């Protein structure tokens, strides 16, 4: 399972006909978190002419909200939302702030400006693929631990910790899709002399398949 989102909160800005547009993006996991982020940006830019926003929540993208915040209907919130949909993103919120510079942009100009504000916001926050990982404990005896260490390193499997007691326990972080094949490899490598304990599953950010 996977979905696309942004890595962290960030922002970028540009000037269009003397109006300053500032795009802010942040990862969020609930509508409450999205509303908190919007409130924070509005407080930060309390003197701004408009703080328009859009957000999408859920792996199924069922929660989609937007606001023009006083701009002409359809010229701000929907363009921001459409950028998020076009990039196939979810679990994020984008706010585009405008400080009016005295020159009207017209409907088309506003749509382009708010779309650009959304795009530079998500680019600054870095688009990532959120993929499901699982923690796995694999315990082996000391005699075969060297082979196991080499296998894990050669296959670039993330070792969170190595615990030495009466046996060697590798605390691993594994892509859920790879769990069965890695277990099978370790069983074959150790002639089945390995014990597994599956741990917590969680979504984590990746770029080109690598953990960020």
pLDDT of residue 35: 98
Tell me, yes or no, if the two domains 2-125 and 130-211 fold the same way: no
In the numeric block, the tokens 């919007």 are attached to: 38
Residue pLDDT, tens place only, 166-197: 999 999 999 999 999 999 999 999 999 999 99
CA angle 79, 85, 89 (to 5 degrees): 125
pLDDT of residue 90: 97
State what percent of residues in the chain have pLDDT above 90. 96
> What is the C-alpha to C-alpha distance for residues 54 and 34, in angstroms, rounded to an integer?
9
> Whole-number mean pLDDT of the chain?
96
Give the strands of the sheet with 19-27, arranged side by side: 10-16, 19-27, 92-99, 50-57, 63-67
Is pTM, for the whole model, over 0.85?
A: yes
pLDDT of residue 183: 97
Task: List C-alpha distances in Å: 28 to 1, 7, 38, 65, 153.
Answer: 18, 10, 11, 13, 33
What 3-state DSSP class applies to 80? helix
pLDDT of residue 1: 74
Residue pLDDT, tens place only, 62-76: 999 999 999 999 999
Domain limits of the chain? 2-125, 130-211
Residue pLDDT, tens place only, 76-90: 999 999 999 999 999
- On the question of pLDDT at 30 being above 80, the answer is yes
Please check whether the domain covering 2-125 is classified as CATH 3.30.360.10: no
CATH topology of domain 130-211: Alpha-Beta Plaits (3.30.70)
Residue pLDDT, tens place only, 43-60: 999 999 999 999 999 989
For 24-38, what is the mean pLDDT? 97
């Amino acid at each position: 399972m996977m979905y696309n989102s942004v890595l962290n909160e960030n922002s970028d800005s540009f000037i269009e006909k003397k109006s300053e547009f500032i795009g802010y993006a942040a990862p969020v996991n609930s509508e409450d978190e999205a509303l908190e982020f919007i409130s924070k940006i509005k407080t930060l830019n309390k003197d701004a002419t408009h703080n328009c926003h859009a957000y999408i929540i859920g792996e199924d993208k069922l929660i989609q909200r937007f606001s023009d915040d006083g701009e002409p209907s359809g010229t701000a919130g929907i363009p921001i939302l459409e950028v998020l949909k076009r990039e196939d993103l979810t679990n994020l919120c984008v706010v585009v702030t405008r400080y009016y510079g005295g020159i009207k942009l017209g409907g088309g100009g506003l749509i382009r400006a708010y779309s650009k504000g959304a795009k530079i916001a998500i680019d600054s926050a870095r688009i990532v693929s959120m993929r499901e990982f699982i923690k796995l404990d694999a315990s082996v005896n000391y005699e075969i631990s060297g082979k196991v260490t080499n296998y894990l390193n050669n296959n670039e499997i993330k070792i969170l910790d190595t615990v030495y007691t009466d046996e060697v326990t590798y605390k691993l972080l594994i892509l859920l899709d790879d769990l069965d094949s890695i277990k099978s490899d370790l069983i074959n490598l150790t002639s089945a002399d390995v014990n597994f304990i599956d741990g917590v599953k969680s979504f984590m950010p990746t770029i080109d398949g690598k953990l960020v």
